[in-house]
Amino acid sequence: MDFAKFFQYIASGTAYTVGVTLIALPFGLVLGLILSLMHVYGGKFLSRIMAVYSTIMRGIPPIVLLFILYFMVSGNINLSPFWAGSISLGIVSSAYQMEIIRGALLSVSGSQMMAARSIGMSRMQAIRHIIIPQALRLAIPPWSNEAAIVIKDSSLVYALGVPEVLRRAQLISASTQEPFLAYITAGLIYFALVFITNRLLNRLEKRLAIPANP
């Protein structure tokens, strides 16, 4: 067996894994941010709907949701499995990211809003210039967790036939009879991605930290 080719075959799936993550994560972030704002500031009715959305989305295994959403998405628009899978994962993630950002919004809280209103800011201005910048900073550590989860969950799109890391590991393990080596390789790749991402987000958190005396 040609080990170089073996590893290279699996590793070349990394581009898909990274690609799925880079679509799903920001998609979930934007959606999660919008939903969390509606949850916190949108009044009783919207807040109720968001709570239901969150409960349902977080109560179903991601793989099941992925299939449901995939067939909903790809049934309506003509999208490749890669795109449909990525967006579906993004939607799954949006529920978790909504909760993360909602918690952060709530903890920046009423008093900063009151201070902003006291100088004549509208609610919208206060949310945009005062609440969100602080809430997003607070959200980085829990968000970093969610980023790791999305990286790992990106492996689920293997079920849609997207040739990402896990899919390739599966294919090559079948053809070479080296399942252990194949899955260890895949595992190491995921681990490396999660590790690097956490490091980067850690650095981002430090960089964006609001200066304060110890």
Selected from 2, 118, 180, 206, the binder of other proteins by CB under 8 A is: 118
d(CA 86, CA 214): 42
Q: Based on the shown chain and the rule CB under 8 A, indicate whether residue 130 belongs to the binding site for other proteins.
A: yes
Judged by CB under 8 A, the stretch of 5-13, 46-54, 106-114, 181-189 that binds other proteins is: 106-114
d(CA 116, CA 137): 18
Give the closest residue to 23 by CA, choosing from 76, 98, 80: 80
Report the residue number, 14 or 134, with the smaller CB distance to other proteins.
Answer: 134
Selected from 5, 48, 129, 199, the binder of other proteins by CB under 8 A is: 129
DSSP annotation of 122: -
Q: Based on the shown chain and the rule CB under 8 A, indicate whether residue 1 belongs to the binding site for other proteins.
A: no
Whether residue 25 contacts residue 153, with contact meaning beta carbons closer than 8 Å, is answered with no
- Taken as a whole, the chain contains a residue count of 214
The angle subtended at Cα 127 by Cα 122 and Cα 130, nearest 5°, is 100
Q: Based on the shown chain and the rule CB under 8 A, indicate whether residue 107 belongs to the binding site for other proteins.
A: no
Determine the size of the site formed for other proteins (CB under 8 A): 21
Q: Which residues bind other proteins (CB under 8 A)?
A: 111-112, 114-122, 125, 129-130, 133-134, 137, 210-213
